[in-house]
Amino acid sequence: MINWRSTWSIYTRELMRFLRTAFQSVLAPVLTTSLYFIVFGAAIGGRMPDLGGVEYGAFIIPGLLMLTLLGETTSNSSFGIYMPRFTGTIYELLSAPVGVAETLVGFVGAAMTKSLLLAAIILLTARLFVDYSIAHPLLAVLYIMLVAAAFSLFGFILGIWADNFEKLGIIPMLFLTPLTFLGGTFYSIDMLPEPWDTLALANPIVYLVTGLRWTFYGSSDVSIWISFGITLGFLACCVAIIAYIFKTGWRLRA
C-alpha cells in the first residue's frame, strides 16, 4: 500500500524547486518555441504548401511541443534525483520508510506536472502565431501524459546513472534533441526520398511526433496504435530498469 503522505512530501518538494526557478524554466522554452514559429511558421511556412490539408505553421505544433516536452521532462526528472545523490541526502530517503512506489510517484509525478504545465503554456503561445484545432483533445492529453510519464522515468534512470553534471546533460543534448529534429518535427516523413523515408522509421522519436500529430489532425505518417504501443513499451522498459536499480541498489548505495 502506498504511503501517500510520503509521496506528497516528495512531490511538493520537487514542485517547489521548479517554482523557485519558474521564470527561467518557463521563459526559455516559450521564447525558443516563439522563435521557431517566427522562423519556420511565418518566414518559411508562408512558402510551404499545406501538408495533408494542414497549414504548415499548424503542422509543426505537435513537433515543437514534443521537442520541448522530451527535453524538459528528461532534464527535470534527471536533475531531481541527481541532486540528492550529489549532496548525499539520498541516504536519508533510502533509510526512511519510503518504498519504491512512493519515490517514483513523487519524483516522476512532479516532473510530469512541470512538463504538462509547460505543454499548456506552449499551446497557448502557439495561438499567438497560428490558428489550429485539436481533432482528438482527450487522446492528445492522454498521449502527452503517457510520453511525459515515460520520459520522466527515463530521466530518473539518467539521473541515477550520471556521476557528474556533464553526463547529466549528454543524453538530452547529443541524442534526444538531434533525434527529435530528425523525427519529423518540421516535415512529414512522406516528403523524404528513398531510402531516407525508410531509414527515418528507425528513429523512435518519429513515432512519438507522428502519434501526437494524429491526435491533433487525425492523420499521420505512422498508425497511432503503433505510436501508443512503442510509447507503452518504452514506459514498461523504464519501470523494469528502475525496479532492478532499487532491488540491487546500483549507484544508490555506493
**Tell me: the pLDDT tens digits for 1-55?**
678 888 998 999 888 887 777 777 778 878 888 888 888 776 676 677 777 788 8
Q: Which residue bears the cell 501508443? A: 228
Neighbours of 125 (CB within 10 A): 16
Give the total number of structural domains in the chain. 1
pLDDT at 235: 95
pLDDT at 152: 93
pLDDT at 46: 67
Asked if residue 122 is part of any domain, the answer here is: yes
Does this model's pTM top 0.85? yes
Retrieve residue 211's grid coordinates.
502519434
Which range of residues forms the domain containing residue 82? 4-248
pLDDT at 254: 59
Dihedral sign computed on CA atoms, order 96, 102, 106, 111 = positive
Residue ranges of the chain whose pLDDT lies below 50: none
Asked if residue 106 is part of any domain, the answer here is: yes
The overall average pLDDT reported for the chain is 87
Asked if residue 174 is part of any domain, the answer here is: yes
By residue count, the chain amounts to 254
pLDDT at 144: 94
Asked if residue 254 is part of any domain, the answer here is: no
Asked if residue 253 is part of any domain, the answer here is: no
Half-sphere exposure of 153 toward its Cβ, with a 13 Å CA cutoff? 23
Asked if residue 135 is part of any domain, the answer here is: yes
pLDDT at 66: 93
Q: How far apart are the first and last CA of the chain?
A: 28
CA 75, 29, 173: angle at the middle one, nearest 5?
40
Asked if residue 208 is part of any domain, the answer here is: yes
The Cα–Cα gap between 93 and 71 comes to 26
Q: Are 231 and 146 in contact (CB under 8 A)?
A: yes
Asked if residue 223 is part of any domain, the answer here is: yes
Neighbours of 139 (CB within 10 A): 17
Alpha helices (H) along the chain: 4-20, 22-36, 56-59, 61-87, 90-95, 100-127, 137-161, 165-171, 177-181, 196-200, 204-217, 224-248
